[in-house]
Amino acid sequence: MAKVIAITNQKGGVGKTSTASALASGLQEKKYKVLAIDLDPQGNLGFCLGAETENAPTVYDLMKGAASIEDVIQTNNGIDILPANILLSGAELEFSNIGREFMLKKGIAPVMDDYDFVIIDTPPALNILTVNAYTATDYLIIPMVPEILSLLGISQLTETIELVKGVYNPKIEVLGILLNKYDARRTLTKDVEEMAQMIARQLGTKVFTTKIRASVAVAEAPAHGQSVFRYSPKSNSAKDYRQFIKEIISQKGMKDGN
């Protein structure tokens, strides 16, 4: 049975998609079988991983029951992908049926035994798409940048996490807070890191030991159709994401013997 990890923060620009893409690519390089799910109507994760988003069935078709998961899955560079596009933006109004919180979990159920990891990229909002991700996931990773507004975004996640945990998915666990665009030389970085530690304790989790340093390679890699590991293997971000993946798979319950 796959371990499902959702990357989440209602604040945009904190590195959710970069983190999801790096996790999927890095785990695949370690020979894990990975399914990457894009739940953001912007479709950026699918783009980063080389999926077709406009002329093919997407996660939107899967969730509304218009396509099977076998019809939606695309494969590129050894990673299976459920892409998204702008059609998902109407999900809050369109998906109004009873049990709508379980649409994603139901849709991916037939293939859960086929993977080691499922990585979900969520939209920068606390809406029905985010709730679907939380309902389907085992673990949450919360990326943030060392800025006050990014910190506020994390604190507002708590209520939604607790709601989902109490009603839809009691096993959900916050795996940790990941600091992106990290620069230890900045005074603000240290201040925000201390506050992130406080929020982590409130969520019953931690701030990951690994920090992801800023690197232009993260932004450039998708334009070249490559993961950051292939595009710039010696960049700070590639080194940091590799270390982060090691930290993830070494945590309790995350080892599968691969």
Locate 246 and state its tokens.
Answer: 């090691």
Answer yes or no: is pLDDT of 63 > 70.
Answer: yes
Report how far residue 191's alpha carbon sits from residue 146's, in angstroms, rounded to the nearest whole number: 8
Task: Please tell me the predicted confidence (pLDDT) of residue 195.
Answer: 83
Closest C-alpha among 128, 110, 108 to residue 118: 108
Answer yes or no: is pLDDT of 170 > 60.
Answer: yes
- For residue 161, what is the enclosing H or E element? helix 157-167
Query: In which band, very low, low, confident or very high, does the pLDDT at 133 lie, cut at 50, 70 and 90?
Result: very high
Answer yes or no: is pLDDT of 196 > 60.
Answer: yes
Residue 43: which residues within 8 A CB-CB, separation 6 or more?
53, 58, 83, 84, 85, 86
Residue 29 CB-density burial (10 A; 0-12 exposed, 13-18 middle, 19+ buried): middle
Half-sphere exposure of 84 (CA within 13 A, CB side): 25
Task: Please tell me the predicted confidence (pLDDT) of residue 30.
Answer: 93
Q: Is 13 helix (H, G, I), strand (E, B) or coil?
A: coil
Residue 46: which residues within 8 A CB-CB, separation 6 or more?
38, 52, 53, 58, 81, 83, 84, 85
pLDDT more than 70, % of the chain: 95
What integer best gives the mean pLDDT of the chain? 90
Question: Span 139-161, mean pLDDT?
Answer: 81
Answer yes or no: is pLDDT of 201 > 50.
Answer: yes
Residue 190 CB-density burial (10 A; 0-12 exposed, 13-18 middle, 19+ buried): exposed
pTM of the model: 0.93
Task: List pLDDT tens digits, range 214-232.
Answer: 888 888 888 877 889 988 8
User: Which of 118-122, 166-170, 190-194 is least confident?
Assistant: 190-194
- For residue 152, what is the enclosing H or E element? helix 148-155
Whether residue 231 contacts residue 222, with contact meaning beta carbons closer than 8 Å, is answered with: no
- Residue boundaries of the structural domains of the chain: 3-249
The CATH number given to 3-249 is 3.40.50.300
Report how far residue 160's alpha carbon sits from residue 145's, in angstroms, rounded to the nearest whole number: 21
Task: List pLDDT tens digits, range 73-129.
Answer: 999 999 999 999 999 998 878 888 888 999 999 999 999 999 999 999 999 888 999
Whether residue 20 contacts residue 4, with contact meaning beta carbons closer than 8 Å, is answered with: no
Task: Please tell me the predicted confidence (pLDDT) of residue 252.
Answer: 61
DSSP letter string, 165-209: HHHT-TT-EEEEEEE-SB-TT-HHHHHHHHHHHHHHHHTT--B-S
Query: In which band, very low, low, confident or very high, does the pLDDT at 257 lie, cut at 50, 70 and 90?
Result: very low
Task: Please tell me the predicted confidence (pLDDT) of residue 219.
Answer: 83
Task: Please tell me the predicted confidence (pLDDT) of residue 155.
Answer: 64
